[in-house]
Structure 1
Amino acid sequence: MKTPVPLSRRKVPPELIAAVRGPVVVLMGSPSEVGNLLEQLKLPDALCLQLDLHQARMLKADLEARGVTARVEVVKDFWDMHHGQATLLTFSQMGGERELKIDLVDQGFHSISPGGRIVVWCPTVDDSLFPGLLKRFFGKTHAHTRRQDLVLWAVRQDGDDRPRRRHELNFHARVGQNPSQNFICRPGVFSYGKMDDGSRALAEIARVEPGDRVLDLGCGHGTLGVFAGITTGPKGHIVFTDSNARALGLAELNAHAAGLTNFTTVLAADNADLEPLGANSFDVVLANPPYFAAGSIAVRFVEQAANMLKPGGRFYLVTRQPDAAGEVMATLFPTFDAIMNRGYTVLLVDKQMELRPIPMDESALEQGEEIEDPIEEIVGSDEIIPKRGTRGTRFRKRDNRKGIGMKSRSPRPTRRDGTSHDR
C-alpha cells in the first residue's frame, strides 16, 4: 500500500475552507500540519491548542517562519476554554492513540456553543474512526470525499446538553514494601491504564532515602514520584516535571490522592525550564524517557540530571535503548553502572552501590561472542529472568523486593566489573 502524502505537504481542500465559520481554534496536530493549514487559510489570530510544551514551541517557530500570526497555548484539557460559535479544526493522524482522538472530539463538543462546529481533515478516504465519532457526538455529519483525502464537519445543535464525561482509567500499583496506591490516567499520557514495566524496573532499583529531594523527569502520571514521595516522608520533597500539561495535572492529582503534600510540579521542555529549581540541588533524579524519540530525550534527561544533582547525588534512568544515553553519561559522570531488570536497562550513578566482579571469558570478549549463563530464579519472586549479555557484559539479577521504599539495601547484583560505560 502506497504511503499517503502527509497533510503538511498537501493543498488545503476547498471544501474545508468553505466549512470554516467564525473564529478558528486548531486542536493539536503536528507543527508542520498546523503551519501548512493556517498558511493557506490566511485567517488572522487563530488559536492553536497543544497538550505538550515542546510541540507548542515547535509550532510557534514554524508559524513565525511562515509569517503566520496565531496564538499558541498549552492546556491539559480542551474544554478548559470555551470558544462560543467557533470552528474547531483538527487532523486525523495516521496511527496515534485512539482514546486520545475520542477524548479530543468529546472535549471539543463541550468547548463550543450551539452553532459552533468541528472540521476534521483526514489523510485517507477510508478513515475508520472520525466519521462515527462525529455522528456520535454531533449527530448529522457532512462528508466530502476527494481522490486522496476526506473532509468531515458537523455542527453542535441546540438543546444537546449532554453532561461531560471523563475518559480515564484507574489502576493500582505497588512497589517494594509500599502499600498499593491508586492512580488515575487519561489519554495522551504515556502508559494509559497501567504502571509501565520500565517505571517498575526503575522503581525496583532506585534507592530513595527519607528526607531526599527528588526530581522526577518526564513524570507521566506520577507513579515514580509518588512512590518516592512516600519514602522521603515529610522532610523530603518531590518535584514532578513533564512537557505534557495533562501529565503534570495527573501527577498532581495522584500525589494528592496518595496523601503527599511535599511536592511541586513544573512544566518543562528543556534545560532552561529547570533553572529556577537551582543547579546541584537534588539528592536523587529519576527518569523514564519515552522511546519514540530515538534517544534524544534520554540524552536531554542525562544532561539535566548532571546539572541538577548534588555532589554525590544518585541518578537512575531506565531505557531499552541505552547506547545514546550511555555515551553522554560517560562524558558527564566519572563512573556509572548498568543493571538489567524486567528486560530494561537501568543506567545509574550511585556511589553506595556495592559492586561484585563478574568473571568474563576473554577469548569470547575478543571475538564479540555472546556469553550466556544458566537461568536463575529471583529471590522472593516467581518471575524468572535469563541472564545474558554481549561483548562479555553480564547483567545480574536482583531481589525485586528492594527498591523505592526500602530504607536499607543489601548488595545488588550489577554490571561488569571495572568499567564506567557499557557499550
Structure 2
Amino acid sequence: MITITLAGEGRTWQLAGPGGVELCVENLREAQPAEMALLPHLPAFAGRVVIPHTGGSPLVPAVIAALNPAAIVEIVELDQHDARLLREKLSTLRNVRVLCAADAGPVDSSRQSGVLLVDERLDRLLAFDFIERLDHILPAGSPVLAMMPKKRAPDFSRKLEEHLLKRRMLPTGKGIVVMQGVSGGAPAVWTPREHVFDASTPTEKIQLVTRPGVFAHARPDSGGLALAESFQLEVGAAKLCGDLPESWQGFAAPTENKGSLRILELGCGCGLVGLLLAARLKGDTEFVLVDSNARAVECALRGVELNGFAKIKIENSDVFQPETGAFDVVLGNPPYFAQRRIADYFIEVAAHALRPGGTLWLVSKHGDEIERLASAHHFQVETRHRRGYDISVCRK
C-alpha cells in the first residue's frame, strides 16, 4: 500500500491505483466517482506533466506525483483562489508545482506529457481551449490522457480526435470516458479564442476583450450594464475634474491633498463596469480593477489598451488588501453561483477600503440579502432597480 498524505483536514480514503496498487490518501475532503474510476488507468509518467485544470480537486495530481517521484507535476489554474488552495493542499508533495496563469505554456521541450480533466461544470469552449493549448505546448508525440463524463464524450471526443494521434479509448465504465493519445495533430499556429465586442450605456460606448473562462464571454453582462448605468445616472452629465457634481449626493469632494477620486472594482472580469465608468469619468479619476482570474486580468488590460485609457491599474488577486480608507467608491458584481460568500467578501473589503462617507455599489438579484450583509458592517443601504436587477448603494 502507498500512503499519500495531503496537508490540512479531510478523511482517509482507501482507493485502487494502477496495476492493482492500493492507495491510502489522507486528509482528502472528497473523492469524485469519476476520479476514482480514472486512478486504475493512470500510466507511468516522466519529465514534466502538465495539468491545465483540476476542477479544484487535488486527488489525481497527488496520485500522479506520489507514484512518479521523478516526474514534476505542473498544475496551471486560471484562478488565484483555486491555485492557492491547491498549493496549500499539495504542499506535502515536493514534485508538484501549482501556477496561476492565463494559459499553460509557453512551448517547452521539457514538458513530456499532459493530463486533461473535464468535469461536469467545465465550460465547453474552455475545455476546447485546454485541448488546443496542450497540443500546442507539448512536443509532438507526447502522451496525453483525457478524462471526461460519458454524457459529454461525443462533443469532446471529436475535438480530441482533431488534436491527438494514436488514440485509444480505455474501458473504464463508471460514467466516464478516458482517451489516450499523443500530441501532434494541431496546426502550427495557436489562437487564444479572443473575442472583441462593443459594450454601451446610453452615454458611453467602449470595446471589450474576452476569452473562454472570462466573465462574461463574448457579450456584455446585463447585471454589469445595470450597475454602470445606475452609477452614471447618479453622477449625472457632469465630468469629474477635481470637484464632484452636485447631483452626486452623499459624496464629499476630494480633499486638497488627495487630488483625485479613487474607484475600486472587485471581481472586474473583462472590465465591463470599470471601463464604462472610465469612459464617463474623465479627468483625475483613478481606477483600480481587481480579479482573481488571471485570464480576466489579461483581457481587462487589453480593454484598457484598446480604448486608450489612463489611470487604470489592474491586479490579479483573490485576497486584495487595500489601505484603510484608500477609496471613495467600491463597485462589485458578485457571481450568483457563489451565493452570499463572495458578496460578503466584497462587503468586508469595502468596509476596510472606503473612506468615511464612501459608497459601495453592488448589483445582484437579491438586494434584501445584500442589505442584511452590508448592515452587519454598519453600512446604510438604499436599494434601486434597473434592468431587473437590484442595485445596492451602501454608504459607510
Return the TM-score normalized by structure 2.
Answer: 0.79
CA contact (8 A) 1:47 1:72 kept: yes
CA distance in 1, matches of 2:107, 2:337: 30
Structure 2 equivalent of residue 30 of structure 1: 55
The answer for the alignment partner of 2:182 in structure 1 is: 155
* Whole-angstrom distance in 1 between the partners of 2:350 and 2:373: 11
1:55 is aligned, of 76, 82, 86, to 82
Which of the residues 208, 228, 236 maps onto 1:183? 208
Map 1:21-420 to 2 at 5 A: 21-32=46-57, 34-39=58-63, 42=66, 43-44=68-69, 45-64=72-91, 69-80=95-106, 82=108, 84-124=110-150, 127-148=153-174, 149-157=176-184, 161-178=187-204, 180-206=205-231, 207=234, 210=240, 211-270=260-319, 273-275=320-322, 278-349=323-394
Aligned 8 A contact 1:7 1:123 in 2: no
Runs of at least 5 residues in structure 1 that lack an aligned partner in the other structure: 352-423
> How much does 1:341 deviate?
1.3
CA pair 334-165 structure 1, distance change in 2 beyond 3 A? closer
**Structure-2 change in CA distance of 1:294 and 1:69 (3 Å):** farther
| Structure 1 residues 243-280: Cα deviation after superposition (integer angstroms, max 9, x where no partner) | 0000011111101111112111111212xx323xx221
Which is worse superposed, 286-295 or 83-92? 83-92
CA RMSD of aligned residues (A): 2.3
Instruction: Quote the Cα distance in structure 2 between the aligned partners of 1:334 and 1:216.
Output: 18
Partner amino acid, structure 2, of 1:35: L
Letter in structure 2 aligned against 1:214: I
Q: Is the 8 A contact 2:326 2:353 kept in 1?
A: yes
SS in 2 for 1:105: helix
Native 8 Å contact 1:26 1:89 kept in 2 = yes
Distance between the aligned counterparts of 2:151 and 2:279, measured in 1? 51
CA distance in structure 2 between the partners assigned to 1:136 and 1:12 by the alignment: 23
Structure 1 counterpart SS, 2:62: helix
CA distance in 2, matches of 1:183, 1:220: 10
Greater percentage in strand: 2
CA separation of 1:165 and 1:126: change in aligned 2, threshold 3 A? closer
**Partner in structure 2 of residue 382 of structure 1:** none
Helix, strand or coil at the partner of 1:239: strand
Count how many residue pairs are aligned between Structure 1 and Structure 2: 338
Q: Secondary structure at the match of 2:76?
A: strand
How far the C-alpha of 1:135 sits from its partner, in A, is 1.1
DSSP 3-state at the match of 2:349: helix
- 2:73 partner amino acid: A
Distance 1:322 1:334, change over 3 A: closer
Aligned-partner SS, 1:202? helix
Q: In structure 2, what is the Cα distance between the partners aligned to 1:89 and 1:176?
A: 47
Structure 2: which 5+ runs fail to align? 1-30, 241-259
Which residue identity does 1:345 align to in structure 2?
Answer: D
For 1:10, what is the secondary structure of its paired residue? helix
Asked if the contact 1:241–1:267 (Cα under 8 Å) also holds between the matched residues in 2, the reply is: yes
2:14 maps to which residue? none
Q: Distance in 2 between matches of 1:125 and 1:231?
A: 47
Q: Give the distance between the partners of 2:203 and 2:133, measured in 1 at CA.
A: 39
CA separation of 1:150/1:142 partners in 2, compared to 1, >3 Å: closer, same or farther?
same
Deviation per residue, 1:115-173 (Å, 9 max, x gap) = 22321122437612221111112344221122213221221239x65211221222111
Please state whether the residue corresponding to 2:81 is helix, strand or coil. helix
Taking only the aligned residue pairs, the percentage that are identical comes to 26
Q: Secondary structure at the match of 1:246?
A: helix
- CA deviations on 1:219-251 (whole Å, 9 max, x unpaired) are 000011111222332412111100000001111
Letter in 2 for 1:31: G
Does the CA contact (< 8 Å) of 1:49 and 1:73 recur in 2?
Answer: yes
Deviation at 1:83, TM superposition (A): 5.2
Secondary structure of 2:86 counterpart: helix
Structure 1 residue 187: Cα displacement: 0.3
Amino acid at match of 2:88: A
